[in-house]
A and B are shown apart, each in its own frame.
Chain A
Amino acid sequence: MKILQNFRNALHKLPYRGVGGFLALFLTATSCQQEYLNPSAASETQATGDINGLITLCNGLQFRYTTSRAGVIYNAITASGLTTRELTVLNAGNTDEELLRQGANNVTNANAVLRNLWSQSQLVKANADLILRSVDAVQGDAATKASIRAYASIFRALSLGTMAQFWQQIPVATTDNAPFLARNEVFQEAIRTLESAATALGSTAPPANFTSRIVPGISLSNTIQALIARYALMVGDNDKAIAAASRVDLAVRSVFSFDDNAQNPIFFTAFSNRNVTEPVNNLFNLPAVLARPEANDRRLAFYFRPTTSATLNLGLGFFTANNAAIPVYLAGEMLLIRAEANARKGDLAAAVTDLNRVLTKTPTTADPVGAGLTAYTGPNTQAAILTEIYRQRCMELFMSGMRLEDTRRFNRVGAGATGSERNRNWYPYPLIERTNNTSTPMNDPAD
């Protein structure tokens, strides 16, 4: 205690005011516990609590889905293209693409193309859920809210539907250890999302408040119907597919837009050079059992460079420039959906009518894919017509990312068998999901 006494005495002898002043200063400095926020980022509360914030999040959905080598578009087109041999790899240094090209067991759950395809689809879905959860609560007009709902629904459906084309089961809920649903249920969930958006949207055109803020390119009502048609076909609901496809105005383009900063990912990564991937050949690499493309098929010139070059990529299509738009769907897809659904229903006449529209249409600005051929002359049997529809899908919808789904739906020769038209039937569940989600199916598909 003597120590303390001494210390206290010593303190008393100090020039008290001065030191006191110092201490006061320090205490004010140290107790000033400022909350530093990041001025270059927004918070969840800010972004989801404001109607315009939700529109910026809608743009974010499209940014994540469409842009960069990590985005869904690049990986869906690349994975499907390599697995069904639309594409080949030019430089084996692109390891994950190369392993997909090799197929079979070379495609592991560590593949980065598949990881990105899965992860970014899941994130787009989760971000869309965030928007759909928040849109009712924000202040704003009903028409803008309906447009936001439609936009978020389109991307929720696109990400679910895209995943369901590559994996047998998918988690739909955004949560820890989210349960996996069978892919047919996932397609149904995508269709339900779209249908509810269509109801909310009704016939009102998106208001200026929305169109002036949303990135240009996507026609909401047409895209909703086109995607319902696509997924209804994939799930085998032929009537719904025909009805929805018929509601799409084929004169209206609906595209993912790009510019020099948010570049067309296939062009930027692959087709601007000869270092990553390019089409296997300039004939859509149709399987040997199918007739080669007619020499006068005008789609050849659209999708492929006429002469080969050491430095220029063989592929053209919708991937010719940084700012080249990629269609969300093509007019030809709607016609072929109707043709296929009718053929499967046994209405061969209706099927051939739409098939012929695809065969005979010529390229226009709105729809640059046009075969310019003559009408179908093959046997008038369901099998022959379906085969021709598949063949046309391979060409009309080249590099749309749907060929893997098509080869399965048309019962083409599967992975591993002689004459196979794909080197995998299904993809393994990415490691990042398996490691961190206990609901992941125990076994990956064998092939």
Chain B
Amino acid sequence: MRKNNYVQAVLLAGRARYLRAIGAIFVVFFAMNAWSQSFTLKGKVTDTSGQPIPGATVQVAGTTTGTAANVAGEYSLSVPANARITISAIGYGSVTREVSTNQSSLDVSLREDQMNLDEVVVVGSTVKTSRRQLGNAINSVSAESLEKTGTNNLVTALQGKVPGAQITQNSGDPAGGMTIRLRGVKSIAGSSDPLYVIDGVIVNNETSSVSQLALSLGSQAPNAALGTNRLADINPNDIESINVINGAAAAAQYGSRAANGVVVITTKRGKSGAPKVNFSTGFSMNELRKGVFITTLGKQFGWSGLRLHTIGGVSAAQVAANPGTTTVGIVRDGATTQLANNLVDVTRYNYFDQIFRTAYGNDNNISVTGGNDRTQYFVGASYMKNEGIVKGVDFRRMGLRLRIDQRLADWAKFSAGLSYTNSFSNEKPNGNVFYSPINSVTITNNIYDITQRDAGGNLLAVEPTRVNPLTTVEAMQFTQAVNRTVTDFQLNLTPLKGLSVDWIVGVDNFSQLGKNYIPPYPYQASAGLPPERYPDGFAANANNNVTQLNTDLNIGYEKDLTKDLKLSALAGIQYQFYQSDFTRASGLNTAPFIETVSGTASTTVTAGYGLDRYNLSGVFGQLTLGYKNIAFLTGAVRRDRSSKFSATETNQLYPKLSGSLVLSDLDFWKNSSLNNFWDGAKLRASFGEAGNLTGIGSYSRFWQFSPAPFLGRGTLLPGSTLANPRVRPERMSELEFGADLSFLKNRLGVTITAYNQQIKDLVVNRELAPSTGGTGIINNVGSMENKGIELGINVTAVKKKDLSVDFGVIFNRNRNKILDINGSPNATVSISNSAGAPVFLIPGQPASVFYGWPYARNADGSLLNTPQGLPQRERGTQSTTDVTQYTIGRAADGQPSGAFVRTVIGNPNPDWTGSFTGNLSYKNLGFRFLLDAVQGVSVFNADKRTRNNVGIGDLAEAEMLGTAPRGTVFSLVNIEEYRVDDGSFVKLRELALTYQLPKIKGISNWNLSLIGRNLISWDKYNGFDPETNAGNNSDLLRGVDFGNVPIPRTYQVQLNVSF
């Protein structure tokens, strides 16, 4: 059955049944509604010092009936007779009280609780649990910490705020990519991106580029994931809270999609009460934080027309043709090359001055919330536009959001949400190619005035075969328009005491429309650009339509078995469907005035259509036993099948087991003097399995015979990758231990977690001997591990009426290791890339290490130079048992001998990451900073060598000045270790100063903020910024700097007003 309108088919077929079913439920449920008699309860919620707690939740226990306290801590709630009322708030221990009909008021004082043990957190879908019961780490980020961050990208705003997460901004473009990796890399064939769930809807964060087709169609950036990852469509302002589940056990509910962790996002909801309007507007400025060194010394070796003047060998004929040229013979790897050593006068320019600009942006949000105790609504609208620091680059996003919560009965409510986003980006070619803004500068000798034009206003050629950098920002047009809706409908029923039935259906649907246009270069005749730079023009249009659907039914039951023993049971069914329709057409040799594929030469037009579809269904059951609300034991199992799996593999089972123990709630602890110093302690442990299916294609189980455009005749190519006979998900099992501790009357909170992830059945694109008829086969043959610790510390230093000071520290350490790729310790996989970075997967090493030619060194570690005093490659004998080892070879004269050897010369996986946050508020002033650190990490700086080879870099200048020996740059060409830089950094990620404006009538709250983002970076990096990645959102090609746009420094002024 080949149908691509599957979603529609299911919905249509199901519609009649849905209607009947829903109708039946409503009739029965409304009939039962007469069952209770209610009254109104009022009261005030305060902390131990008597201060009100705005936003505290007041809820009828065991139901979804509830409300939130207002700014004064006051609430009013309609409750049934003889109900139990639970009052809770984030940062406080919850309290449960019995009320009877004759009681009309209930004031409660809550005790502060750093550990938030009674906070109810969403762990996925509609499933919630209290922290007390969790046997694993779950990290929450509140709306407050996503505000005043200086960015309007949700993922960017999370940087430095999630233990266990490494969040990297891969590009400084406003629509550039962001990656989150929780506890390291999980797959060597697929993505390590977590699963994102917004209000129960699984949302797409793929990177499918429709606007970088010049690169992707020409395979000019292999293994890179170019473009925007689609969480860019989410407005951080819409978020109420984010729960990040790092581990497999906690995420086991998501089965085959849980191994990368789950990010559970809850958006803002309406609150009962008078309509409240929140408005914010911000104005921002972006600038280049730090440039790179470009020489403007007015000299050049040889003659002005000598390309690559630092490294280009000069022939006798060239010496004769250019009088005054002298040469010196430089010996490299045993061969002598004549390099020019005379200097001539040239004029040099810093082309970056023509590429970068100071850019501006604005960000505006308005929302209205309100409702009564039966109906609550939230309506929001947003508009933001942010310019990039590269000329001509920007990103605009408009959003509309609506959520309605409607109580149908005391035991039934529904919630429906609709979110629409329209975004548009103006882009330029991503790094990676020499027609991108940064790379065109890096690869071009800067002795041409790029601003010169002919009489017709056309730019002129620069160095032969190179693109004038101004062409990239002035003429190339790559745009992407996205329309996206995320909708959900949720029904929550509590028909009986202890029983809950939750049903959710969610659809994430978006379309991406890409336009790509490179006009013919007016100076092609004199520049002679090669075909990969599209000398006669390029145009492509593409459309990607993605639909994701998930529907979950969860049934929960809670029962006190005895006075001390409580049982919670949960059973659920899930169905998920994914479809992507990708259509594109592209052509060359564009006609004047026409910027689309319609204007390209008909003989060059090609088109393609791709349909990617899969479904996944699962059932799961979970039992939790709680003893005295102190000790909990949870066991669960999930069973999955998916259309991606081979027929023999459709029964994937994922078990989990976890336990928690709140030691500090034991009587002995409460009564001991220890409690005065150490007042909270929870221990937790979990074991779980989870799967990852990002590494397997929807059609990996077949040998694909693909069509090729060839002389107008039907052509099929048998795939060079053979079929995987047993496609199944990659499987992770994880053991996690941890503790949540609080000291000094909750002034100091510590959470610590240690984990061990063992991943097996890793999907490997295993190399085959071509004599088998294929060059590769995708098999589940690898294994890998991640081990690490996560530490979080929160300190409330001062908490007084007018002054509060608190600090937070996060420390993460992860050790990734590939255990097996193909059964052989020497089976390495090269991750090819346009930067020429030697990125490898090697058993026994972390994923994606840089494996290449090191410097020859003396025993003391100093460089062993050639007799001419120049650095050189190491030689010796490579070990046959461990590809990373070698024996050094030395000739009688002490010089290296033997073959060139390779070893691990860098690691893009950091030793540790961490952050340090501080908040200070004094009367009307608020101050916040966030320092974010990534330490012990390597960056492969491809641009550094290019700049020097071209003759515009720091060593090139040193050679011209004579401060470095002639031939230095030439000697370094093949030494890959030279290009590996220390990428460790500490960044002043966020700085915010907020002033609470004086109260005036009609405005309940307003404040003005000055915000800075990425203001300072402490690093020793030779390029723009060590936080970068030419692989963009790729999890395998990391830490490579090749024409990447640097992350700007941002200043922002923001006004927030609530009416």
Contact = CB atoms under 8 A, between A and B. Distances in A.
A123 B718 CA distance: 9
A327 interface: no
Contact of A60 (B17, B29, B335, B717): B717
B894 interface: no
Nearest to B776: A432
Given A23-B553, A36-B614, A39-B4, 6 more contacts: A14-B495, A23-B573, A32-B10, A42-B716, A311-B526, A433-B770
Contacts of A21: 17, 20-21, 24-25
A273 B528 contact: yes
Contacts of A38: 611, 698-699, 702, 704
A3 B705 contact: no
Interface stretch (A44-52, A223-231, A405-413): A44-52
A245 B614 CA distance: 56
B13 to A, nearest CB: 8
Interface stretch (A5-13, A376-384, A414-422): A5-13
Given A56-B715, A59-B714, A60-B718, A28 B14 contact: yes
Interface stretch (A197-205, A210-218, A356-364): A210-218
Interface stretch (B252-260, B360-368, B602-610): B602-610
A35 B771 contact: no
Nearest to B717: A60
Contacts of A22: 21, 25, 503, 553
Contacts of B12: none
Interface in B556-574: 557, 559, 561, 567, 569, 573-574
A60 B716 contact: yes
A273 B6 CA distance: 49
Contacts of B20: 21
Nearest to B29: A15
Given A19-B501, A44-B705, A273 B713 contact: no
A437 B836 CA distance: 28
Given A39-B4, A63-B708, A274 B464 contact: yes
Contacts of A33: 615, 617, 641, 643, 650
A150 B508 CA distance: 53
Interface string A161-187: 000000000010111111000000000
Nearest to B525: A311
Contact of A29 (B501, B617, B712): B617
A272 interface: yes
Given A30-B619, A34-B1, A40 B611 contact: yes
Contacts of B609: 39-40
Contact of A25 (B18, B588, B618, B717): B18
B531 A268 contact: yes
A41 B715 contact: no
Contacts of B605: 261
A55 B529 CA distance: 37
A444 B587 CA distance: 44
A287 interface: no
A64 B713 CA distance: 14
Contacts of A17: 21, 24, 28
Interface string A109-124: 0000000001111110
B711 A262 contact: yes
Contact of B465 (A39, A63, A273): A273
B699 A41 contact: yes
The 8 A-B pairs of least Cβ separation, nearest first, read: A311-B528, A21-B21, A18-B25, A126-B773, A15-B28, A122-B770, A30-B617, A437-B769
A369 interface: no
Given A10-B498, A432-B775, A67 B710 contact: yes
B696 to A, nearest CB: 13
Contacts of A142: none
A26 B29 contact: no
Contacts of B526: 311
A141 to B, nearest CB: 18
A375 interface: no
Contacts of A43: 702-703, 705
B2 A37 contact: yes
A221 interface: no
A100 interface: no
Nearest to B617: A30
Contact of A63 (B22, B615, B717, B772): B717
A365 interface: no
Nearest to A273: B530
A95 B769 CA distance: 23
Interface in B503-554: 503, 525-531, 551, 553
A347 to B, nearest CB: 40
Contacts of A312: 528
B573 A26 contact: yes
Contact of A3 (B561, B617, B773): B561
Contacts of B414: none
Interface of A: 2-3, 6-7, 10, 13-15, 17-19, 21-44, 46-47, 52-53, 55-57, 59-60, 62-64, 67, 91-92, 95, 102, 105, 118-123, 126-127, 129-130, 171, 173-178, 213-216, 257-263, 268-269, 272-276, 310-312, 323, 430, 432-433, 435-437, 440
A323 B711 CA distance: 10
Interface string B589-631: 0000000000001011110111101110111000000000000
Given A15-B29, A25-B21, A29-B617, A261 B771 contact: no
A41 B553 contact: no
A268 to B, nearest CB: 6
A435 B720 CA distance: 17
A60 to B, nearest CB: 4
Given A174-B772, A178-B771, A311-B528, A26 B496 contact: no
A54 to B, nearest CB: 9
A27 B858 CA distance: 70
Contacts of B619: 30
Contact of A41 (B575, B706, B720): B706
A36 to B, nearest CB: 4
Contacts of A258: 711
B606 A60 contact: no
B575 A174 contact: no
B611 A262 contact: no
Nearest to A309: B528
Contacts of B464: 274, 310-311
Interface string B752-779: 0000000000000001111111110000
A44 B723 CA distance: 11
B965 interface: no
B718 A274 contact: no
Nearest to A119: B770
Contacts of A59: 710-711, 713-716
B781 interface: no
B770 A215 contact: no
B499 interface: yes
A432 B767 contact: yes
Contacts of A173: 771
A57 B714 CA distance: 9
B527 A311 contact: yes
A29 B530 contact: no
B827 interface: yes
Interface in B691-746: 698-699, 702-718, 720
B845 to A, nearest CB: 18
Contact of B715 (A60, A129, A275): A60
A26 B551 contact: yes
Contacts of B702: 37-38, 41, 43
A47 B705 contact: yes
Nearest to A93: B836
A35 B530 contact: no
Contacts of B774: 123, 126
A311 B714 CA distance: 37
Contacts of A436: 767-769, 772
Given A18-B28, A268-B531, A437 B714 contact: no
Nearest to A129: B773
